[in-house]
Amino acid sequence: MEPALLQCNVSPSIRLLLEAAMKGYQDKLNAETLLKQAFEMDPSVLDTYVVFYKFYFYHRLISKAEEWVYLALKSASKQGGFDNDWRKLNNHSALWDQLDSPERIYLYSLKALSFLRLKQGDLETPREVLNKLEVLDPDDQVGWTVIAQMHARLSSDE
């Protein structure tokens, strides 16, 4: 798993736990224990949600990964003070271009949702999410166009 965290304001103790879990993700039991410790220390740290859903994805536990994506979206929207329902959001709902923010984690998690749904053979939900990301992140700061390209290839194969 990639060791970069999205937020700068992660406490050193939680950062160490998350980095150890990411570096040793192959040891599923130990990595999951580290992630749970980080989450219990401070459930408001959004990077913990991101690492959890990446961890479960890498272990091919797609439904668990998707659960953590939805938890990330909910927590990020609450912290950012905007609606949790991405369908209701527009480019004025929040300051979407802020680095190190709940908004950035929300966008990043929407990208993850589109990817996970795509991996499950769902073409409709990713299309809707990607259309919304185009509105919220027109400069592609979270890299959603990579998923859009995958979606386009899969859609043309249908």
CATH number given to 12-82+89-157: 1.25.40.10
What are 84-113's pLDDT values in tens digits? 999 999 999 999 999 889 999 999 999 999
Distance CA 138, CA 73 (A): 19
Could you identify the residue written with the tokens 């060791």? 3
Q: How many CA atoms does the CB half-sphere of 113 hold within 13 Å?
A: 27
Is 76 within 8 Å of 110 (Cβ atoms)? no
Residue extents of the structural domains in the chain: 12-82+89-157
pTM of the model: 0.93
